[in-house]
């Protein structure tokens, strides 16, 4: 059986390793874009083809529910043009300036990819707050 904490730790360290190889800006761009590509593929592998197109706000809400069910955090919800993660799986394993971790950018890209897959509309997130146990992104 795979230990989920070891897997999370490995993912965090992988993201930091990418940063060490290609630099801060490059790692953020590459991991965010990777998330944008992984989101739709992940959704299709888990749920099958999604036959309808949702309004963007509904797609954001559905993405939050999906990410919570997949265990990205105990709670994931949208509130006041924000996507909020409470008791997330990643920040407890992270060190240093959490908001500048490339892994946070992967997570942003993953959300953006899910929403674009479900709504066919682009979503661009910005970091609002990142600390141990809470991540929030804002959008307009």
**Does the CA dihedral 67-69-73-77 come out positive or negative?**
positive
With CA atoms as reference, report the closest residue to 85 among 140, 127, 113.
127
Tell me if 40 sits within 8 A of 107, measured CB to CB: no
Q: What three-state secondary structure class fits 96?
A: coil
pTM, rounded to two decimals: 0.92
Q: What is the pLDDT of residues 89-107, one digit of tens each?
A: 999 989 999 999 999 999 9
Q: What is the pLDDT of residues 67-87, one digit of tens each?
A: 999 999 999 999 999 999 999
Q: What DSSP assignment string belongs to 52-85? A: S---HHHHHHHHHHHHHHTTSEEEEEE-SSEEEE
Q: How confident is the model at residue 47 (pLDDT cuts 50, 70, 90)?
A: confident
Tell whether the model's pLDDT for residue 140 goes beyond 80: yes
Please state the domain extents for the chain.
4-138
Tell whether the model's pLDDT for residue 2 goes beyond 80: no
Q: What is the pLDDT of residues 14-26, one digit of tens each?
A: 898 899 899 999 9
Tell me if 111 sits within 8 A of 117, measured CB to CB: no
Q: What is the pLDDT of residue 43?
A: 83
> Which CATH topology does 4-138 take?
Muramoyl-pentapeptide Carboxypeptidase; domain 2 (3.30.1380)
């Amino acid at each position: 059986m795979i230990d989920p904490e070891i897997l999370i730790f490995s993912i965090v360290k992988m993201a930091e390793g990418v940063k060490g190889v290609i630099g801060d800006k490059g790692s953020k761009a590459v991991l965010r874009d990777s998330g944008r590509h992984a989101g739709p593929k992940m959704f299709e592998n888990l749920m099958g083809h999604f036959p309808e197109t949702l309004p963007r706000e509904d797609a954001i809400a559905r993405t939050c529910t999906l990410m919570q069910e997949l265990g990205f955090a105990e709670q994931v919800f949208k509130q006041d043009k924000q996507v909020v993660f409470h008791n997330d799986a990643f920040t407890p394993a992270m060190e240093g300036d959490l908001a500048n971790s490339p892994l946070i950018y992967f997570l942003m890209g993953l959300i953006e990819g899910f929403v674009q897959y479900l709504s066919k509309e682009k979503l661009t997130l910005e970091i609002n707050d990142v600390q141990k146990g809470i991540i929030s992104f804002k959008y307009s």
